[in-house]
Amino acid sequence: MTDVAGKVAFVTGGARGLGLATARALAARGASLVLADIDLAGAELAADHLRQQGASVLAVHLDVASEDSWAAAGERTRAFGPVRILISNAGVGGGSGPFESYDTEVWRWNYAVNAHAHLYACRTFLKSMKESAEACHITLTSSMVAVVPPPISVAYISSKFATLGIAMALRNELAATKVGVSVLMPGMSATRIVETTRKLRPVPGDTSSAATSQAMQGILAGGMSPDRIGTYVVNAIEADRFWIFTHPEWKAMAEQVAADMLSAFGESADPDYPGDDIEGLIAANGGRMFGADR
């Protein structure tokens, strides 16, 4: 992908936050936009503002956790134009408290929104993108906590870790196509994810989780501007960069995580085992592992 101008971009969570910020940056480069959000009124309002600035925008209702909702949004979008940029961004927080105390419905909901939705997104648009002669691009929103997990919110952290795995595998799978892949790994960002989570959460939170969410909301309020991140994301798409690290201060901690993992490699569990055929594994996958072709 070298130019987003003239292409249709489908952005989930497009009514606000990182989704809207990325949409603004895409519009500034000449892309047409589909703002998809569970809050249709919010998406319509955002679309009106962008239209006033000269952008071509469609607002659609989308519950990213529902395959039926994806089918309906995809049908509306096809009449608007072929999607060539997919920003699978919508996300929610995962609650707090000890892992074993998680409410089952909250856990399932968190994964449905933060991880399963990427499958539904690709089911809706990837086939057409692969068949197109144009350069296309997919960006998935993960988080720095997928690399450096703090001791809170196992549901959120693990679902974002799943997103990272999806992006890495998809990068290899699509390496021989014209579809590029990026994974956004932001640190603290001044979004309303805590407020959105409280509003959409399938079961009420307890006093402890309410206190934690209030504290987190205060921390995020001082985070990086979503508009700065949105521009950074579009720059990465145009440069066809896979990793989108927006907060360099996390690098030292990421290095510690990597060092800890690498230091654990030692002798084989079976000294007589000849070792896995890594070259054969790479060849069996078309030589497209680890993004080497990009």
User: Residue 25 falls within a domain, yes or no?
Assistant: yes
- The answer to whether position 104 is within a domain reads yes
Residue 293 lies in a domain: no
pTM of this prediction? 0.90
Alpha helices, DSSP H only, in the chain?
17-28, 40-52, 67-80, 104-111, 117-131, 154-173, 193-200, 207-221, 226-239, 251-263, 278-284
Q: Quick check: is 290 in a domain? A: no
State residue 271 phi and psi, 5-degree precision.
-60, -20
Pairing outcome for strands 8-12 and 57-61? unpaired
Q: Number of folded domains in the chain? A: 1
Residue ranges making up the domain that contains 52: 8-248+256-262
Q: Evaluate whether residue 59 is within a structural domain.
A: yes
* 129 occurs within a structural domain: yes
In a domain, residue 287? The reply is no
H/E segment holding residue 183: strand 179-185
Query: φ and ψ at 68, to 5 degrees?
Result: -65, -40
Whichever domain contains 144, its CATH number is 3.40.50.720
Residue 83 lies in a domain: yes
Residue 76 in tokens = 């509306």
pLDDT tens digit at each of 294 positions of the chain: 678 999 999 999 999 999 999 999 999 999 999 999 999 999 999 999 999 999 999 999 999 999 999 999 999 999 999 999 999 999 888 777 889 988 899 899 999 999 999 999 999 999 999 999 999 999 999 999 999 998 878 999 999 999 999 999 999 999 999 999 999 999 988 766 666 665 656 666 554 455 555 555 555 666 889 999 999 999 999 999 999 999 999 999 999 999 999 999 999 999 999 999 999 988 887 777 665 444
Backbone angles phi, psi at 136, to 5 degrees: -130, 170
d(CA 35, CA 14): 5
Residue 197 identity: T
